[in-house]
Amino acid sequence: MQTEKHKTKRILLVDDDIDLLMLLERKLQKSGYLIESAASMPEAEYVLSLFKPDLVILDINIAGDDGRQLCWKIKHAEGARKAKVILMSGYNYPISGPLSFGADDYVAKPFQSEYLVNKVERLLSEEPAPEPVFVFAPPKEDLK
């Protein structure tokens, strides 16, 4: 079921576990999201530059590369739309570790796909913080 809310929400999945990628692709597509996936860091960086996702779900350990570095790049890119990032790992990291790279959330493997879908729903439904508005008024006269 594709809802109006999800039509434009784009998710990039990055993991070297092809079976997990296919499972998550199907589950998130059924929830109405537009999905791209990558199985290596070079592929992820290439797809990221073309796809412009709203959310990246990124494994920390990808075929010898560190997904936290890509997370940091996504969060600190100059002039780029800043995607939200969920880091995931099969290793037991303290939660503060992955989040210190700028990730918006962290998921420990193994996990139920519904658990991840709920996190995705929550992150993508959050409204971005409004831009600050500055109002300049002429100085008030002294009211003595």
Say how far apart CA 47 and CA 115 lie, in whole Å.
25
Nearest to 89 by CA among 117, 64, 58, 60: 60
Angle at 70 between CA 68 and CA 75, to 5 degrees: 95
pLDDT, one tens digit per residue, over 4-28 is 554 579 999 999 999 999 999 999 9
Domain extents for the chain? 10-125
Whole-prediction pTM: 0.79
Architecture of domain 10-125: 3-Layer(aba) Sandwich (3.40)
User: Which residue shows structure tokens 């997990």?
Assistant: 20
Say how far apart CA 28 and CA 33 lie, in whole Å.
6
Residue 107, pLDDT > 80, answer yes
pLDDT, one tens digit per residue, over 33-77 is 999 999 999 999 999 989 989 999 999 998 888 898 999 999 888
